[in-house]
């Protein structure tokens, strides 16, 4: 028994898992403290909402899945690039471009949903390729380029959408000119199918996008860990010189990695805005979905399979936050939720400490158990 | 006051799968040079890293001047005046030499860096100890040898009392080693206490007062150098006598394998070319050695041959194929293997496990992949074969992360990978750097086996013993040109030294350009 636990603890990845869970715990504790600070009387109620609202009804649970899907995709956009040594802070811009491509092809060209999703991937890929190209050929740090491309992406998409009347809601008789059309009016075929899940869950939020995201995450995992393509990508990320020495085309791989990462984020945008329930609002702020990919990836230590779960966690907390609404102001909820998410991600820095503690535990147990064997 | 400035008592440190230090006791006397000897992976670096605060021991105590001290990190070590030159340097690649030296102890006045003062002090130290460095060059642009000197200066700059040298001589030229020995003696005479790790027994004999021997994590004892011999030490370390002379069959040069013509390679360090119109050939079945003091164009020449660096002009042919413009991968497929000089920069992906590193040059072959998917089982079993064949020691076998392996075992892994590729031409720079005597014996035997199997071997070495011992033909490189060509039995270490220092230059070097493809003239020299 002891031996089995010991083996489990020494398994690579186990410490990452424990660290992630501990990090979430730390984030939640801070969230509770903030709740008490802002409104002590309702703090337990609020905390209860954060912890349990996500599973309080099938409708809420649908919402968790609904928001988790694009988060998985932006998380993958950050995590995949990170595994190959690139810090893709541009998931937001790639997400924007994916959104635009999905809406444009879905509405103007009347693409069916799957084709519009592919178009979204292309859009994200183009936006991801830019920092990749700059990095590969001019050695410009991808962080700087991708931040710039976030803003370029936001304003380009806003300008484009504002000037294509057909994609806007008021073209279909709605009263708000600052948002894109309701897909049900513009092109029902572009709405991601629900395959009867809406009947089962009794919610219009649910569709197959969560499953699409999970499949993509699994594919990303296999590409990274089981293929020679992934071997090359990671080699470039870990040690560019050694990968060049091994005859790997490092430049090509940097660009490819960013293209793939970008297509993930782009797909995230497509998934969200082709759900039939979301309409893009033309605003001067970057959508949080892209940036939230960063804590999602951090929390999962960039492991694509872990990203599925960390995205679920982040989405779950967000749904819980919404449920605190009248008791807590929306802004305060945003602060609390962000604190929980980001603290969770950053307390992962404690991973080293946790690993040490685990090792100590193993040693103590080994000593006590071996003593046990000596005594008759 | 206690006799010992540092005492490490019953130090135990376990890593997954290995007991790196098993109740090791080491006592350093004030003002002595204390050598630490042991096979690759015996636990020398681990023990020193514990003293320097990089690792915490599982058990055991450290005393300074008889007082128990806790060393949690290198800052604690620095406060205790303990300094260390690491086996693999810890320098910031994009910083300059100067910035690296005063990093962490920047002299400031009102928050402003007193740059000139610091610079002055570094230049004085460098002058005083003959450690020549280019203060404003970036670390990534300078040679390994100079990086080493930067590390030593770093310690001297911090006025450390206890100096740890983890294999400082592995990259130095014989001349530089002599200088370093003098420096170390000088430091000892100034009252500093020195811990000195080396695999070179003659260095230990020359410079140290006492020597502690480790074997597989255990302390085999401490001996007084004046009462011991090289043979005693090597037996204590390995457990068997060592063969220092290489056994070789007769030279049977075969077909031309490598032909280099008027090769010119630019330098990254300065405006001049690093390699200035070099012409030479290597035949099947011979070991040609490029001798020279570090920084005379050897590295650039090798990078040009293997395709890592661009050339200005000239041509390279491999078995008659023009490969001047071939990619690295093409050259590798045509049969060039390369044991690189800097194993961490080029040779290994430190965050990959041993198995993944062992297939780094051939993961794309059908044996290891199918439709783009890695054949994990094959990779693993191939790695296991190499591990046992080349006696690579790693705590968790093929799944050990390369970063956690001892320096010598990392080198063995690279050598195994490159030789097992069964190349037509094996290019090796300093292949025995950091290896213990037993492993060197083995690597030399492997190089000779390649030669005897009719392969061409181009060896770049700074160590004249190795050059004389292993090679069939010696080319001396000085300032990017070949200034002399010798057969080892017709020359002496002293003569080579003169050519390497540029004091002499033979006419043959000029002649060889005209002889290019005339193999007959070349053969004449050997018969
Ligand atoms: N950080 C680490 N994690 C896991 N194992 C380690 C780590 N550092 C060292 N080891 C293992 O501990 C053993 C001792 O390593 P160490 O580097 O001390 O050897 P060494 O005597 O310095 O050898 P060399 O002469 O090759 O440098 C080796 O088996 C090595 O694989
Ligand atoms: Mg070592």
Q: Do B364 and A234 touch (CB under 8 A)?
A: no
Residues 6+ apart with CB under 8 A from B354: B383, B387, B392, B394, B397, B398, B399, B400, B401, B402, B405, B413
Residue B14 Cα to ligand 2 middle (Å): 15
Four-point Cα dihedral B260, B261, B264, B265, nearest 10: -20
Quick one: pLDDT at residue A360? 62
Neighboring chain A residues of B364 at a CB cutoff of 8 Å = 228
Quick one: pLDDT at residue B503? 76
B53: left (phi over 0), alpha (psi -120 to 50) or beta: left
Q: How far apart are CA A250 and CA A236, in angstroms?
A: 6
Handedness of CA B34, B39, B42, B48 (dihedral sign): positive
Quick one: pLDDT at residue A151? 94
Give the DSSP H or E segment for A374: helix A351-374
Quick one: pLDDT at residue B496? 87
Please report, rounded to a whole number, the percentage of residues in chain B having pLDDT higher than 90: 51
pLDDT tens-place string over residues A196-206:
888 888 888 88
**Ligand 1 pocket test, candidate residues B38, B43, B215, most atoms within 8 A of CB:** B43
pLDDT tens-place string over residues B209-254:
999 999 999 999 999 999 999 888 888 888 877 776 777 878 888 8
- The number of CA neighbours under 13 Å toward the Cβ of A157 is 35
pLDDT tens-place string over residues A236-283:
989 999 999 999 999 999 999 999 999 999 999 999 999 988 888 888
Cβ proximity of B157 and B86 under 8 Å: no
Interface test with B, best of A247, A355, A361 (most B CBs within 10 A): A247
pLDDT tens-place string over residues A206-216:
889 999 999 99
In the structure encoding, which two tokens stand for residue B43, read together? 């636990």
Please report, rounded to a whole number, the percentage of residues in chain A having pLDDT higher than 90: 49
CATH code at position A307: 1.10.3470
Q: What does the pLDDT average to over A309-327? A: 87
Q: Which of the four CATH numbers 3.40.50.300, 3.40.605.10, 3.30.390.30, 3.40.50.1580 does domain B4-238 have?
A: 3.40.50.300
Quick one: pLDDT at residue A376? 31
Q: Does A229 touch chain B (CB under 8 A)?
A: yes
Q: What is the DSSP string of A198-258?
A: HHHHT-SS--THHHHHHHHHHHHHHHHHHBHHHHHHHHHHH-HHHHHHTT--HHHHHHHHH
Report residue B443's pLDDT band, with 50, 70 and 90 as the boundaries. confident
Neighboring chain A residues of B368 at a CB cutoff of 8 Å = 228
| pLDDT top residue among B249 and A135 | A135
| pLDDT top residue among B504 and B468 | B468
Quick one: pLDDT at residue A355? 65
Which atom from ligand 1 is nearest to the alpha carbon of B406?
Answer: 17
Please report, rounded to a whole number, the percentage of residues in chain B having pLDDT higher than 70: 95
- C-beta neighbour count of B488 within 10 angstroms: 18
Angstrom CA distances, B64 to A243, A286, B29, B32, B68, stand at 45, 58, 11, 15, 6
Out of B328, B347, B373, the one facing A247 most closely (by C-beta) is B328
pLDDT tens-place string over residues B383-434:
999 999 988 989 889 999 999 998 889 999 999 999 999 999 999 998 988 7
Return phi, psi of residue B406, to 5°.
-70, 155
Q: Fold identical between B4-238 and B256-335+423-526?
A: yes
Q: What does the pLDDT average to over A35-57? A: 85
Quick one: pLDDT at residue A372? 38
pLDDT higher than 80, residue A103: yes
Residues 6+ apart with CB under 8 A from B42: B214, B215, B216, B217, B237, B406, B436
Report residue A375's pLDDT band, with 50, 70 and 90 as the boundaries. very low
Range in A277-281, B116-120, B188-192, B510-514 with the lowest mean pLDDT = B510-514
What is the distance in angstroms between the Cα of B243 and the nearest Cα belonging to chain A? Answer: 34
Runs of H (alpha helix) within B199-353: 201-207, 230-238, 298-306, 328-334
Quick one: pLDDT at residue B250? 81
In a domain, residue A222? The reply is yes
User: What is the number of the ligand closest to the CA of B405?
Assistant: 1
- Chain B, residues 39-78, CB within 8 A of chain A, namely 58
pLDDT tens-place string over residues B272-322:
888 999 999 999 999 999 998 878 889 899 999 999 988 999 999 999 999
In a domain, residue A59? The reply is no
Residue B110 Cα to ligand 2 middle (Å): 41
Quick one: pLDDT at residue B205? 92
Ligand 1 binding pocket (C-beta < 6 A) is: B 15-16, 18, 20, 38, 40-46, 87, 393-395, 404-409
Nearest-CA residue for ligand 1 atom 3 is B404
Cβ proximity of B225 and B209 under 8 Å: yes
**Ligand 1 pocket test, candidate residues B41, B51, B170, B433, most atoms within 8 A of CB:** B41
CA angle A94, A95, A98 (to 5 degrees): 85
Q: What does the pLDDT average to over A218-226? A: 95
Report residue A340's pLDDT band, with 50, 70 and 90 as the boundaries. confident
Report residue A6's pLDDT band, with 50, 70 and 90 as the boundaries. low
Which atom from ligand 1 is nearest to the alpha carbon of B38?
Answer: 21
Q: How far apart are CA B58 and CA B60, in angstroms?
A: 7
In the structure encoding, which two tokens stand for residue A216, read together? 């993509």
Q: Does A195 touch chain B (CB under 8 A)?
A: no
Q: What is the DSSP string of B422-438?
A: --SEEEEESTTTT--HH
- Closest chain B residue to A364 measured between Cα atoms? B58
What is the distance in angstroms between the Cα of B329 and the nearest Cα belonging to chain A? Answer: 4
Q: Do A245 and B328 touch (CB under 8 A)?
A: yes
Q: How far apart are CA A114 and CA A126, in angstroms?
A: 19
Q: What does the pLDDT average to over B95-114? A: 80
Cβ proximity of B480 and B293 under 8 Å: no
In a domain, residue A248? The reply is yes
Q: What is the DSSP string of B347-387?
A: I--TTSBHHHHHTTTTTTSTTTEETTEE-HHHHHHHHHHHH
| pLDDT top residue among A26 and A253 | A253
CB-based burial, B333-351: b 16+ in 10 Å, e otherwise: bebbbbbbbbbbbbbbbbe
What is the domain range of residue A153?
64-327
Cβ proximity of B100 and B154 under 8 Å: yes
Report which of B117, B124, B168 is spatially closest to residue B147, judged by C-alpha positions: B168
- The number of CA neighbours under 13 Å toward the Cβ of A64 is 25
The listed range with the strongest mean pLDDT (B26-40, B160-174, B512-526) is B26-40
Question: Strand B313-318 vs strand B256-266: parallel, antiparallel, or unpaired?
Answer: antiparallel
Range in A89-98, A238-247, B18-27, B504-513 with the lowest mean pLDDT = B504-513
Quick one: pLDDT at residue A356? 67
pLDDT higher than 80, residue B145: no
Angstrom CA distances, B286 to B224, B316, B475, stand at 42, 18, 13
| pLDDT top residue among B362 and A334 | B362
Architecture of domain B256-335+423-526: 3-Layer(aba) Sandwich (3.40)
- C-beta neighbour count of B176 within 10 angstroms: 22
* β-pair partners for B459: B289, B428
In a domain, residue A229? The reply is yes
| pLDDT top residue among B26 and A4 | B26
* β-pair partners for B478: B481
Domain boundaries, chain B: 4-238, 256-335+423-526, 347-408
Quick one: pLDDT at residue B509? 46
Q: Does A325 touch chain B (CB under 8 A)?
A: no
- The per-residue pLDDT of chain B, averaged, comes to 87
Angstrom CA distances, B195 to B62, B64, B163, B204, stand at 15, 14, 6, 11
Report residue B524's pLDDT band, with 50, 70 and 90 as the boundaries. very low
Quick one: pLDDT at residue A358? 65
Q: How far apart are CA A224 and CA B373, in angstroms?
A: 10
């Amino acid at each position: 028994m002891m031996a089995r636990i010991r083996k489990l603890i020494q398994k690579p990845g186990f410490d990452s898992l424990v660290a992630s869970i501990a990090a979430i715990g730390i984030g939640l504790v801070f969230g509770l403290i903030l709740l008490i600070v802002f409104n002590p009387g309702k703090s337990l109620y609020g905390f209860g909402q954060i912890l349990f609202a996500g599973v309080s009804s099938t409708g809420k649970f649908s919402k968790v899945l609904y928001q988790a899907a694009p988060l998985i995709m932006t998380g993958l956009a950050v995590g995949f690039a990170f595994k190959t040594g690139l810090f893709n802070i541009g998931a937001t811009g790639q997400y924007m471009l994916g959104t635009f491509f999905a809406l444009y092809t879905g509405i103007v060209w009347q693409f069916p949903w799957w084709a519009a999703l592919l178009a979204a991937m292309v859009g994200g890929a183009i936006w991801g390729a830019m920092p990749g190209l700059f990095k590969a050929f001019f050695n410009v740090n991808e962080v700087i380029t991708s931040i710039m491309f976030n803003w370029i992406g936001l304003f380009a998409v806003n300008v484009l959408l504002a000037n294509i009347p057909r994609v806007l809601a008021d073209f279909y008789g709605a009263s708000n000119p600052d948002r894109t059309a309701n897909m049900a009016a513009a092109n029902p075929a572009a709405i991601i199918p629900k395959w009867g899940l809406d009947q089962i869950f009794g919610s219009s939020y649910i569709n197959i996008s969560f499953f699409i995201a999970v499949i993509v995450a699994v594919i990303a995992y296999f590409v990274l860990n089981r293929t020679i393509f992934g071997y090359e990508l990671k080699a470039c990320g870990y040690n560019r010189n050694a990968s060049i020495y091994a005859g790997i085309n490092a430049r090509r791989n940097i660009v490819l990695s960013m293209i793939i990462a970008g297509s993930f984020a782009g797909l995230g945008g497509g998934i969200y805005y082709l759900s039939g329930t979301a309409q893009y609002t033309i605003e001067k702020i970057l959508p949080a979905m892209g940036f939230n990919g960063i804590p999602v990836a951090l929390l999962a230590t960039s492991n694509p399979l872990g990203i599925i779960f960390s995205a679920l966690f982040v989405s779950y907390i967000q749904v819980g936050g919404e449920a605190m609404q009248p008791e807590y102001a929306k802004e305060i909820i945003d602060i609390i939720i962000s604190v929980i998410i980001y603290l969770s991600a950053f307390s992962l820095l404690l991973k080293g400490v946790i690993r040490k503690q685990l090792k100590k535990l193993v040693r103590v147990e080994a000593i006590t158990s071996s003593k046990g064997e000596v005594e008759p | 006051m206690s006799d010992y400035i540092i005492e490490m008592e019953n130090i135990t440190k376990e890593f997954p799968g290995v007991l790196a230090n098993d109740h090791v006791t080491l006592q350093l006397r004030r003002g002595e040079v204390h050598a630490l000897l042991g096979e690759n992976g015996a636990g020398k670096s681990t023990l020193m890293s514990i003293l320097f605060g990089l690792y915490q021991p599982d058990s055991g105590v450290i005393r300074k001047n008889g007082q128990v001290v806790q060393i949690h990190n290198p800052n604690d070590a620095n406060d205790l005046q303990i300094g260390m030159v690491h086996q693999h340097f810890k320098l910031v690649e994009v910083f300059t030499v100067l910035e690296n030296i005063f990093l962490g102890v920047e002299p400031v006045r009102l928050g402003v860096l007193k740059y000139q003062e610091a610079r002055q002090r570094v230049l004085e130290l460098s002058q005083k100890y003959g450690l020549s460095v280019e203060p404003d060059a970036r670390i990534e642009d300078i040679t390994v040898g100079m990086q080493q000197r930067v590390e030593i200066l770093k310690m001297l700059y911090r006025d450390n009392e206890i100096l740890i040298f983890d294999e400082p001589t592995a990259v130095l030229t014989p001349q530089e080693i002599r200088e370093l020995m003098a420096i170390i003696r000088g430091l000892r005479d100034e009252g500093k206490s020195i811990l000195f790790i080396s695999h070179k027994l003659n260095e230990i004999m020359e410079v140290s007062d006492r020597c502690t021997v480790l074997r597989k994590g255990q302390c085999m004892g401490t001996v007084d150098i004046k009462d011991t011999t090289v043979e005693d030490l090597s037996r204590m370390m390995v457990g068997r006598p060592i063969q220092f002379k290489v056994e070789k069959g007769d030279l049977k040069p075969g077909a031309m394998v490598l032909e280099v013509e008027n090769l010119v390679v630019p330098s990254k360090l300065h405006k001049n070319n690093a390699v200035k119109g070099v012409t030479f050939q290597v035949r099947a079945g011979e070991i040609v050695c490029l001798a020279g003091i570090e920084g005379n164009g050897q590295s650039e020449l090798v990078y040009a041959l293997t395709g890592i660096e661009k050339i200005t002009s000239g041509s390279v042919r491999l078995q008659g194929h023009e490969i001047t413009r071939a990619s690295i991968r093409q050259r590798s497929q045509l049969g060039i293997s390369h044991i690189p000089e800097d194993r961490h920069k080029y040779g290994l992906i430190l965050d990959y496990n041993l198995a993944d590193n062992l297939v780094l040059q051939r993961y794309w072959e059908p044996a290891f992949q199918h439709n783009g998917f890695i054949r994990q089982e094959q990779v693993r079993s191939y790695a296991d074969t190499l591990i046992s064949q080349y006696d690579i020691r790693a705590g968790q076998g093929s799944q050990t992360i390369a970063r956690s392996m001892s320096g010598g075992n990392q080198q063995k892994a690279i050598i195994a990978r490159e030789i097992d590729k069964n190349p037509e031409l094996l290019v090796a720079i300093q292949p025995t750097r950091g290896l213990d005597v037993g492993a060197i014996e083995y690597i030399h035997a492997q190089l000779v086996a390649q030669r005897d199997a009719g392969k061409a071997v181009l060896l770049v070495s700074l160590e004249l013993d190795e050059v004389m011992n292993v090679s069939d033909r010696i080319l001396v490189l000085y300032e990017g040109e070949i200034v002399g060509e010798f057969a080892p039995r017709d020359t002496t270490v002293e003569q080579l030294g003169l050519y390497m220092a540029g004091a002499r230059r033979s006419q043959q070097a000029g002649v060889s350009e005209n002889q290019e493809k005339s193999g007959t003239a070349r053969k004449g020299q050997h018969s």
